[in-house]
């Protein structure tokens, strides 16, 4: 009986240490859901920008983050549009830029708007 108390205490301490180590590891390995969603949306936006939108934005625009050096439209790194401005240009078209309303789903427009505003340093 005299040995049980302290040993049990030790085991509890070990369990607590193990549990907190596991918790710490899991927060390191698994990013919060919001961060994963954000990364996926940005990746989708970048892929649309460089290649998947038809015609791709990179054809006409310079954006350093996308490795794009198109010279027809404004340099997005300088314009630094916020997400709403990008989305409006995509929906309505502007000047020589075609509307993407028929070509892109709302989710893709959102991803492009978020990516372009973030990559160019514009407000989001």
Nearer to ligand HEC, 44 or 100 (CB): 100
Nearest-angstrom CA–CA distance, 72 and 59: 8
Region 33-62 residues binding ligand HEC, contact defined as CB under 6 A: 53, 55, 57, 59-61
Instruction: Please tell me whether residue 112 binds ligand HEC under the rule CB under 6 A.
Output: yes
Q: Are 57 and 92 in contact (CB under 8 A)?
A: no
Q: Are 68 and 62 in contact (CB under 8 A)?
A: yes
Q: Total residues at the site for ligand HEC (CB under 6 A)?
A: 22
Site string for ligand HEC, 64-103 (x = CB under 6 A): --------xxx----x-x---xx--xx---xxxx--x---
Nearest-angstrom CA–CA distance, 109 and 59: 17
Nearer to ligand HEC, 11 or 64 (CB): 64
Q: How far is the CB of 24 from ligand HEC (least distance, A)?
A: 40
Nearest-angstrom CA–CA distance, 87 and 53: 14
Q: How far is the CB of 120 from ligand HEC (least distance, A)?
A: 8
Residues 6+ apart with CB under 8 A from 19: none
Nearest-angstrom CA–CA distance, 74 and 94: 11
User: Which residue ranges make up the site for ligand HEC (CB under 6 A)?
Assistant: 53, 55, 57, 59-61, 72-74, 79, 81, 85-86, 89-90, 94-97, 100, 112, 116
């Amino acid at each position: 009986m005299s040995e049980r108390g302290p040993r049990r205490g030790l085991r509890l301490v070990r369990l607590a240490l193990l549990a907190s180590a596991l918790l710490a590891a899991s927060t390191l390995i698994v990013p919060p859901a919001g961060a994963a969603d954000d990364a996926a949306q940005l990746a989708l936006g970048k892929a649309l920008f460089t290649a998947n939108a038809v015609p791709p934005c990179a054809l006409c625009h310079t954006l350093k983050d996308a490795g794009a050096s198109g010279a027809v439209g404004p340099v997005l790194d300088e314009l630094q549009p916020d997400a709403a401005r990008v989305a409006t240009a995509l929906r309505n078209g502007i000047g020589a830029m075609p509307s993407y309303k028929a070509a892109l789903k709302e989710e893709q427009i959102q991803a492009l708007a978020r990516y372009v505003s973030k990559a160019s340093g514009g407000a989001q």
